[in-house]
């Protein structure tokens, strides 16, 4: 993927920004300009609004990859899943922070943003969404949308050194 295209897709990759039809209420990811669900598609022109997905959902289906695509050889085995978000759209993503045998249909997950790849040692680093089990205590749900890392607790200071 070209760098220019990658940057144009930043709102979707980093924020799970989709769109919602104000006529029928259907939510889309990635965003659409026209709603294919409305009986007369032109009714949705200029009625699609930006919509922030929460990143929470559940696994509909998954596969465990043992023969990785180029660039992912060091990650095998890894899990790719179809995740139905609570807002409705189905996203494809990697399940991380869980053993492949722990993934099951119906597993509650939430989006997390991780490094996908980098273009050489001094090249551009590409980030995107992956999914982690929802019961992972290291994440807290944000009121504005996708989960954000929970703040780390401050360890008690050793008064003898202070």
Per-residue model confidence as pLDDT tens digits over 73-95: 888 999 999 999 999 999 999 99
**pLDDT, position 130:** 93
Per-residue model confidence as pLDDT tens digits over 30-84: 899 899 888 877 778 888 999 999 999 999 999 999 998 887 788 899 999 999 9
Architecture of domain 54-135: Beta Barrel (2.40)
**pLDDT, position 133:** 96
Distance CA(144)–CA(146), nearest Å, equals: 7
**pLDDT, position 11:** 56
């Amino acid at each position: 993927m070209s760098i220019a295209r990658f940057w144009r897709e930043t709102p979707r990759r980093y924020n799970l920004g989709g769109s919602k039809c104000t006529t029928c209420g259907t939510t889309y990811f990635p965003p659409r300009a026209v709603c294919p669900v409305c009986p007369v598609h032109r009714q949705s022109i200029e009625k699609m609004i930006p919509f922030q997905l929460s990143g929470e959902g559940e696994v509909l289906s998954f596969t465990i990859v043992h023969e990785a695509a180029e660039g992912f050889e060091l990650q095998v085995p890894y899990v790719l899943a179809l995740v139905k978000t609570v807002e409705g759209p189905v996203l494809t993503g990697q399940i991380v922070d869980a053993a492949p045998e722990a993934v099951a249909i119906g597993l509650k997950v939430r989006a997390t943003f991780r490094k996908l790849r980098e273009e050489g040692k001094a090249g551009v680093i590409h980030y995107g969404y992956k999914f982690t089990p929802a019961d992972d205590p290291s994440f807290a749900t944000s009121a504005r949308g996708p989960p954000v890392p929970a703040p780390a607790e401050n360890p008690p200071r050793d008064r003898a050194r202070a």
